[in-house]
Amino acid sequence: MEYMEVKGYANAADWVYREGIQPSSYDPGNHITMQDVRHIHQLVMSPVWEIEPHPDATPREGPGSFRQHEIEEFSSGMKPVTWPLVDGEMSTWLARVNMIIPRSLTFPEEIAKAHRDFEAIHPFLDGNGRAGRLVLNLILVRMGYPPAIIFKGERKKYLRALRRADSGEYGALGELIARAILDNLYKFVVPAIAGPARLIPLAALANDEFNATALRAAANRGALQATKGSDGQWRSSRQWVNEYSVSRYQRRN
């Protein structure tokens, strides 16, 4: 069963991230459509559903279909909307999301509110967390941002921020999403487009051998060739980091 959950999420994630490169169902007037939301859930849940469908599901509540059951109040105290209102609440949610301005100063809090509101509606009988995070990332890639991937080590912090958002405090969740976007920008996007000799922030050069802190320490003591900009940020290149790695290996031997 766990394998099927991973497979479903991988299928949906692959579709979402390909949409950021080569859109197949993009409506130029909207960041996301109801069809997109349903399609993500269908991809996420179908492998699991084929083996073990939800025991309470009616034939009209399968993957990609909105729930027709009430959801119990969560431990945090938040109770999802009653099921007859799901269609209307989702239409309102879509309208609000499609009004978000990507490069505005209020963007982090607005995208955090959009994510929280989706989870509060809880439109599907099961799989809302997985689908909701992928819906968030589809919105982000459609807006030209890297996806915000919440890793396992950040899960508790993410859930705490989500609970705060339930009470109307969106700052913590907005900051967490923004940091996740920047982390992916530095880890994957910047290194992919930068040549081996191009100067980029040390955070974008971190790898399994050297984390960003170790690289900063090496730059500060002059062991790693790097330059410090007027903004106080160290920059180096993949070529210089590779040379530093080789020199450390030679010294050890």
Dist. CA 15–CA 134, nearest whole Å: 10
Helix (H) or strand (E) holding 234: strand 234-236
Helix (H) or strand (E) holding 200: strand 200-201
Whether 122 is a known active-site residue: answer yes
Instruction: Label the pairing between strands 200-201 and 227-228.
Output: unpaired
- Provide φ and ψ at 71, rounded to 5°: -110, 130
For the beta carbon of residue 92, count every other beta carbon within 10 angstroms: 13
* Alpha helices (H) along the chain: 2-21, 34-51, 86-97, 107-121, 128-142, 155-166, 171-184, 190-193, 212-220, 238-252
Dist. CA 221–CA 32, nearest whole Å: 49
In angstroms, how far is the first alpha carbon of the chain from the final one? 48
For the beta carbon of residue 235, count every other beta carbon within 10 angstroms: 18
Dist. CA 221–CA 227, nearest whole Å: 12
Reduced to 3 states, what is the DSSP secondary structure of residue 220? Answer: helix
Spatial CA neighbour of 13 closest among 114, 182, 100, 140: 140
- The residues that are catalytic are 122
